[in-house]
A = this chain, B = another copy of it.
């Protein structure tokens, strides 16, 4: 598997050819393909597990958390298959016409949803992303080129082969799903410059990966995942609600991007509420890092540094700041957030409205946990990722984020007069 065995342009051409076919399939044909993929995953579970064993053997020296993400079991494979069947039940976004109208010249203009074409995915250790991405891109009529982490290479290859064989058996294009089997950085870099073949590149993984892709890629990228999320406890917050939401947002799954990383609290309630909230967090093992005023109230906090305000911990750590006004909270958030998810806890109507309008983020909450920023929780039925950029898609991305529009215009000889 050296670099010379991979011809990315050839893969790109094959993907474009497959995409042309996929774009013409009916929803029924696509669902048939998805159900075949799901069945094949279960039928070939032993082959997949054997490949996964090879990856796990090579990964034995890596951290337990990492190995856990990599490991497959019969139950996890069944979950993958169930996920694919779930995608088959979703509405086909390309079966939709957004709107149609007749213009002044008498042309009928229909704005149709169509697939983007070829989607590139660069991701890390979880082999389930391979199946997830294949199902979502297939349902939306796109071909996909996958480049997973080198630690999961055997697992990903086994999974991709099972999916390809399942498609081929239904006379659907095998190249709808292609895996890059060379895990070198050079090939990843080449993939980021595959203009003319890849219509959009979606990185999924840690900050380092996403930053590298955003900075280096010349193909269009959708930036996902960075979440330096804040909870602002307003002067009019209910204490019990504040405790419950802050603890949930910080503790329930600290490694994910919609977990809260910062707590801002209004000075008027800090003396009363901060000790209670802090204790609840500390009881859950959260390390707190406060500014001077927060530490004056809860001395057990470590001192926050300037760097803390811009850091996404993805861990049981939370920085805490006391603010004198909602304006100060909003300014701090807009200066330091990653435009992901922000929440205010308040019973004051005006303050809730001000926060909703002035905070610049994909998702802004009143009296709810930031953990709800998720395609499934939003009711999209699927999630390709969470966009933190403003162009094309923002927030949780469902199948529609993998589509674009095409105007189909019907005339009867119209020419333009001026």
Q: Which residues from chain A sit less than 8 Å from chain B, CB to CB?
A: 20, 23-24, 101, 103-105, 107, 109, 116-117, 199-200, 215, 218, 220, 222, 238, 241, 244-245, 247-249, 252, 334, 352, 356-358, 360-369, 371-373, 377-379, 389-392, 394-395, 404-416
Top 3 nearest A-B pairs by Cβ distance?
A368-B411, A248-B415, A371-B416
Given that A215-B218, A244-B415 are contacting pairs, would A409 and B372 also be in contact in the complex, using a CB cutoff of 8 Å? Answer: yes
Summarize A's interface: helix, strand, loop or mixed: mixed
Q: Judging by beta carbons under 8 Å apart, are B24 and A363 in contact?
A: no
Q: How far is the CB of A230 from chain B (nearest CB, A)?
A: 15
Q: Judging by beta carbons under 8 Å apart, are A101 and B199 in contact?
A: no
Q: CA separation between A334 and B19, bound complex, in Å?
A: 13
Chain B residues with CB under 8 A of A249: 415
Q: Which single member of B352, B377, B415 contacts A416 (CB below 8 Å)?
A: B377
Q: Judging by beta carbons under 8 Å apart, are B220 and A415 in contact?
A: no
User: How many copies of the polypeptide does the oligomer hold?
Assistant: 2
Q: CA separation between A413 and B199, bound complex, in Å?
A: 41
Q: CA separation between A244 and B395, bound complex, in Å?
A: 47
Q: Judging by beta carbons under 8 Å apart, are A411 and B367 in contact?
A: yes
Q: Judging by beta carbons under 8 Å apart, are A408 and B364 in contact?
A: yes
Q: Judging by beta carbons under 8 Å apart, are B199 and A390 in contact?
A: yes
Q: CA separation between A358 and B149, bound complex, in Å?
A: 35
Q: CA separation between A220 and B339, bound complex, in Å?
A: 16
Q: How far is the CB of A142 from chain B (nearest CB, A)?
A: 11
Chain B residues with CB under 8 A of A109: 378-379
Q: Which single member of B356, B372, B389 contacts A105 (CB below 8 Å)?
A: B372
Given that A101-B379, A371-B415, A413-B368 are contacting pairs, would A361 and B406 also be in contact in the complex, using a CB cutoff of 8 Å? Answer: yes
Chain B residues with CB under 8 A of A410: 352, 365-368
Q: Judging by beta carbons under 8 Å apart, are B107 and A416 in contact?
A: no
Q: Judging by beta carbons under 8 Å apart, are A416 and B20 in contact?
A: no
Q: CA separation between A352 and B411, bound complex, in Å?
A: 11
Q: Judging by beta carbons under 8 Å apart, are B248 and A416 in contact?
A: yes
Q: CA separation between A409 and B368, bound complex, in Å?
A: 8
Chain B residues with CB under 8 A of A391: 116, 199-200, 220, 222, 391-392, 404
Q: Judging by beta carbons under 8 Å apart, are A362 and B103 in contact?
A: no
Q: How far is the CB of A360 from chain B (nearest CB, A)?
A: 7
Q: Judging by beta carbons under 8 Å apart, are B390 and A103 in contact?
A: no
Q: CA separation between A372 and B356, bound complex, in Å?
A: 40
Q: Judging by beta carbons under 8 Å apart, are B405 and A368 in contact?
A: no
Q: Judging by beta carbons under 8 Å apart, are B244 and A364 in contact?
A: no
Nearest CB in chain B to that of A365: its residue: B409
Given that A377-B103, A406-B394, A411-B367 are contacting pairs, would A220 and B362 also be in contact in the complex, using a CB cutoff of 8 Å? Answer: no
Q: Judging by beta carbons under 8 Å apart, are A406 and B362 in contact?
A: yes
Nearest CB in chain B to that of A249: its residue: B415
Nearest CB in chain B to that of A361: its residue: B406
Q: CA separation between A238 and B411, bound complex, in Å?
A: 13
Q: CA separation between A259 and B379, bound complex, in Å?
A: 44
Given that A117-B390, A372-B107 are contacting pairs, would A416 and B252 also be in contact in the complex, using a CB cutoff of 8 Å? Answer: yes
Q: Which single member of B105, B365, B373, B415 contacts A252 (CB below 8 Å)?
A: B415
Q: CA separation between A411 and B360, bound complex, in Å?
A: 19
Q: Judging by beta carbons under 8 Å apart, are B364 and A103 in contact?
A: no
Q: How far is the CB of A12 from chain B (nearest CB, A)?
A: 14
Q: How far is the CB of A83 from chain B (nearest CB, A)?
A: 16
Q: How far is the CB of A21 from chain B (nearest CB, A)?
A: 10
Chain B residues with CB under 8 A of A334: 20
Q: Which single member of B244, B366, B413 contacts A409 (CB below 8 Å)?
A: B366
Nearest CB in chain B to that of A379: its residue: B103
Q: Judging by beta carbons under 8 Å apart, are A245 and B415 in contact?
A: yes
